Structure 1
Amino acid sequence: MSTVKIAAIDLGTVSSRLLCAEMRNGQITASTKRTVITDLGERVDATGVFAPAAIDRVTQACTEFVRKAREFGAQHVCCTLTSAARDVSNGNELLDRLRNLGLVPQVIPGEVEARLTFYGVARDFANERIAVADSGGGSTELVVGRASDGGLELDCAESLNIGCRRVTERFFSSVPPSADELDKAAAWARAQFEPYWARLANRPERLVAVGGTVTTLVAMVHELAVYDSHFVHLRDLTIEQVEDGIDRMRSLTVEQIAQLPGIQAKRAPVILAGAIVVRELMRAGGYGRLTVSENSLLAGAAATIYEAAMSGRTVIGWIPELSSW
């Protein structure tokens, strides 16, 4: 079967991402990825609307993404929006701009987001029952299941409205926050996660986490002056390392956090809250360590785009609307 070129665009609460991939027989044979921190979810938790500046940032990023996808020769393009877009009343302002770029934007439900993420991650853990957590800016997707040649077996897929941007804006009056604000944020986060884990009679031994918070924590722990995705992928992160990161950041300003090795300046305002979310996720689930994956929704989206384009059927049961140029 010939190679098919696809592009997947994912517009999240904190970052906007593009994956351009060559695919053959459902597998990625070559790819490039671009991530821009656009903070689409800025003040969404408080206002329920996209800020004009946030819409402008995402539009600018997507203009570049479309240019790169065209240069790449993408035959099929999918554009998804997640938590922030599910929460706002003025989403059409952004969706109309994306349509003007030639995209077909889709605001996907949390369960679809969870399935796409699991599909992208689980290929590295074939036939192993795992828990997958995607902790983003506005939500955290949790899925337990197994991937095998027969497809996906999912026990529990859920999207919770808890993420680094949401926690920062809801609980921190400033950065650094007070000790009381940190304690309240941690207690609230843990209370969100406990019911999910309580419903599982048999929790998997392995927790796999994706997203900018956990990849940044690995970069900070290992003091990566230059981010190395190959080093980060499938690296373990212990709860003690997460605790150390929190202790290191809890009394620092945003500017001081940005100076730490491995921290992107634009992620500095939300990484402390993100670390608290990850710690409470681990505590609630009883996990002393997790495995960090560089694969995520984009990898799952790539496989799903290929399946939809080739056969009109997909493993996860969701059919994306595609732009074809």
Structure 2
Amino acid sequence: MKKTGERSSSDGARTPGVPGSSKKGRRKQRHRKRQGGDAKNASLHRAEAGHSAGIAEEAGSSRPEGAKRQRKARRAKPNRAERRALLNQKLHAPVVNIDPGGTSVEVIQPAPAPKEEVKTHGSTQVRQSGPAEQHAPRPSQGYRSRENDANRRRHPADMRGDGTHRFPSRHRHQATGSQELYAALDLGTNNCRLLIARPEQRGFRVVDAYSKIVRLGEGVGRNRKLSDDAISRAIEALQVCQQKISERGVQRARLIATEACRAAENGEEFVSRAKKEAGLELEIVSQETEARLAVAGCVSLVDPEADGVLLFDIGGGSSEIVWLDLRNRYGARGYALTRFVRTWTSLPLGVVNLAESHGGVHVTPDVFEAMVGDVSQRLENFPLGNELSRAIERGNVHMLGTSGTVTTLAGVHLGLKRYDRRRVDGAWMEQEDVSAMINQLLNMSYQERVENPCIGEDRADLVLAGCAILEGIRRRWPCQRLRVADRGLREGILMEMMAADKVWSNSNHKRRRTPRKEYNR
């Protein structure tokens, strides 16, 4: 007998909300509903998967299950050359002639359009040139008639008129890379130096270098003429330089000669012979130009915190001294410092003519003091010399030397067993170090100087003459620090040419992210 009020559901559980139903029955009911929903969703997923698999099988796809579908490659758009060719076909369609019998077909291509086309309002107007225009060269064309070329006024040292050479394409090979190559040649009293470089960021990367001691100014102090032996040595070195310039495909070059050709009576005759035998046209530069180029080549080594720099270049036949007053530079650095030249001078004393006057093989302390006396006498007429002395007394002024003399002193000071430009260029020397190195070289015999790896036989008879010039400058303006620069006129020439061509301000110039490599001497 069932109790009154009790109801039974079809699944045997008590109905919720009716007297006699339990919590256990309600939990079972909710569990069955959840299982039923999950089963329904699973069946739908299986049906969709089966449908997709059937479509893939019908299409013959071999893609494994779970692999991602590959995106179909888009059709490549035509490039500029293809678009130009398509446009040309539309504008100048070929003419097709079919034989009446249908046995042959002739396709006649249209004649090429003239180079000069004028586009107006979306249409192309072709301007025909008459017979006179076809033969007469236009000013905008890249060639000149012989009459115009003969009447054209040339610079005495080159084709451009600014002291540099622009080599025509028929005289050079194709240069590697998209950037032009620049060459700088410095034919001095003692050395012949060549540097070939490519612009990079705010400087340049050296591609090739050459240096040879030729002693072109040997005997000029006595005879006022270049000797035949010295000319032969210089011509031989210039021929090597010309070969390097040609093989590298140099587009811009400046080739200068300094004091030896300025002082010699046959300097112009030597320049003509060099052009004839070596194929290089030299430019004899003034003392002011030489001083400016020395500054341009070394300003990157100026201390950013310095208020002034006393820069000197001890050459074979002359020595240039420049005062850079940097008290009002307002953060300027690098090549921009060339604008701060306060004063300069050029002494007619170099290592070659000073060694010829006093002797350079066996140098005693008395001979050395006589050399220093000659230099000190020349420095008395330095413009603004007393003002420079007061600036040095206030401090924060350092020396910057560029010559074989200071690089030799730095190499000996560093104790190098072999000359290493990477360690010498930019090295700092205190005043006590410079004095110690000069005394050390003065106490060496000639043979000991020859055997020193930083001096060698080529400089053994000249190095003490250079030390005497340096000592004369130090006694006149004693600075506490000296920075060594293994660079000079060649680097200055390259910097000036590249700055004139605005290679660093060109947005299309490809800049490298790798650091610039140094070159070995």
Q: Any stretches of 5+ residues in structure 1 without a counterpart?
A: 312-325
Residue number in structure 1 paired with 2:191? 15
Q: Is the 8 A contact 2:361 2:460 kept in 1?
A: no
Equivalent positions of 1:134-283 (< 5 A) are 134-145=313-324, 146=326, 148=332, 152-172=339-359, 175-196=361-382, 197-198=385-386, 200=388, 202-203=391-392, 205-250=397-442, 252-283=444-475
In structure 2, the residue matched to 1:77 is: 253
Is the 1:4–1:24 contact (alpha carbons within 8 Å) kept by the matching residues of 2? no
Correspondence for 1:118: 295
Instruction: Give the letter for the 1:295 counterpart.
Output: R
Find the aligned partners of 2:480 and 2:315 in 1 and give their Cα distance.
Answer: 21
Please give the secondary structure, in 2, of the residue aligned with 1:4.
Answer: coil
For the Cα contact (< 8 Å) 2:196–2:207, is it kept in 1? yes
C-alpha deviation, 1:182, in angstroms:
1.9
In the alignment, which residue of structure 1 is the partner of 2:234?
58
Q: Secondary structure at the match of 2:299?
A: helix
Structure 1 position 181, deviation (Å):
2.1
Matched, 1:130 2:309: yes
Q: Distance in 2 between matches of 1:103 and 1:310?
A: 26
* Distance change >3 Å, CA 165–CA 287, structure 1 → 2: same
Q: Distance in 1 between matches of 2:268 and 2:187?
A: 14
Alpha-carbon distance in 1 for matches of 2:349, 2:386: 18
Q: 1:290 to 1:195 in 2, by over 3 A?
A: farther
Contact preservation (8 Å) 2:391, 2:397: no
Distance 1:246 1:217 in 2: 7
Max Rg structure: 2
Q: Larger relative CO (CA 8 A, sep 6+): 1 or 2?
A: 1
**What is the distance in 2 between the residues matched to 1:126 and 1:224?**
25
Give, as a single letter, the amino acid of the residue that structure 1 aligns with 2:386. Answer: A
In the alignment, is the contact (CA less than 8 A) between 1:26 and 1:307 conserved in 2? no
- Cα drift, residue 310 of structure 1: 5.8
CA distance in 2, matches of 1:238, 1:50: 39
* Separation of aligned partners in 2, 1:120 and 1:207: 15
Contact preservation (8 Å) 2:399, 2:479: yes
Q: Hey, which of these two has a bigger chunk of strand by percent?
A: 1
User: Is 1:28 matched up with 2:208?
Assistant: no
- TM-score normalised over the length of structure 2: 0.56
Retained in 1: the 8 A contact 2:239–2:279? no
RMSD, matched Cα: 2.4
What residue ranges of structure 2 are gaps of 5+ in the alignment?
1-177, 504-521
Aligned equivalent of 2:286:
109
The 5 Å alignment of 1:88-103 reads 88-100=264-276, 101-103=278-280
**2:498 maps to 1:306:** yes
Taking only the aligned residue pairs, the percentage that are identical comes to: 26
3-state SS of the aligned residue for 1:216?
A: helix
Secondary structure of residue in 2 paired with 1:93? helix
